[in-house]
Amino acid sequence: MSPILKLIAQRVALGVILLFAVSALIFAGTQILPGDVASSILGQSATPQALANLRQELGLNDPAIVRYFRWVGGVLTGDLGTALTTRQDIATTLGPRLWNTLFLAFWTAVVAIPLAIVLGMLAVMYRNGPVDKAISGFALASTSVPEFFVGYLLIFFFAVKLQWFPSISTVYDGMPFLQKLQAIVLPGTALLLVVLAHMMRMTRAAILNVMQSAYIETAELKGVSPFEIIRRHAFPNAIAPIVNVVMLNLAYLVVGVVVVEVIFVYPGMGQYLVDHVAKRDVPVVQAVGLIFAAVYISLNIVADVASILANPRLRHPR
């Protein structure tokens, strides 16, 4: 096996092992959640016999290790289980929710990634000047402000005061595409401000690191314009760390949307998770948590593979 394929296989194997470890942590975490699922379903007025019968029906009396391997075995066959409170198939219910979250994350990334790269290149081109300081200051400010605060500010100004966008981001099957885009403008902007700063600062740092190279000085002595030096020479050689940070932020756009979806009542995975945590619906919490973990680990593997392909030192280790 070639060195590059061996490195990729190692990353994939490590990701699979990590996913199994995360599944064990998710299962253990749900077992220590306060409250009783049977009591939550039947209510506080339920008789002890009714509670005992329901626990037996749901398999809650089985040992934890038995329930864990039963759950993992179902996941491996595509069965995420059944929601305890609604008795609906979790995989069927999660499908539209996952699609909505991916829709929001995709269009946020479409705007955030090129904007972050352009701002990072501008900051390098005018480094230590007013433009660089303004971009860096904006990045620090947007990173420091919590998502929920940004979300409420956007609702207050653009939904309540100006009434440009709806305060509740409702999307549904059959909704016209442009209306969907309008509905996700505010939650997408809240997510954009969070990930934009991180990607921009990493782009700036990666390009500045390459700008110290001898071939950059040679290009400067030949009279190549600063923009062309950055675009043709510095940026392509700084792509590996930039790809890494882009993938990490893409993972955040999918996994870290819980707060934003709750604020804007967006029908995605995060809102679905919060609703069922409140109901003590353990199978739903486990399924959503595992999907979030799988997305995060998968995108990290993609980032590692991209780094291997972009870096000759990783492709041909000594």
Name which CATH class applies to 106-277: mainly alpha
pTM summary value: 0.81
Render each residue's pLDDT in the chain as its tens digit; 318 residues: 677 777 788 888 888 899 989 988 888 877 776 666 666 666 666 677 777 777 777 667 677 788 888 888 888 888 887 787 777 888 888 888 888 888 988 999 999 889 988 888 888 888 888 888 888 888 888 777 888 888 888 888 888 888 888 888 888 888 888 888 888 899 988 888 888 888 888 888 888 888 877 777 787 777 777 777 877 777 777 777 788 888 888 888 888 788 888 888 888 888 888 888 777 778 888 888 888 889 888 888 888 887 777 666 655 555
Domain parsing of the chain, residue ranges = 106-277
Note every long-range contact of 175-184, with CB atoms under 8 Å and residues 24 or more positions apart, other chains counting. Answer: 180/103, 181/107, 184/103, 184/104, 184/107, 184/108, 184/266
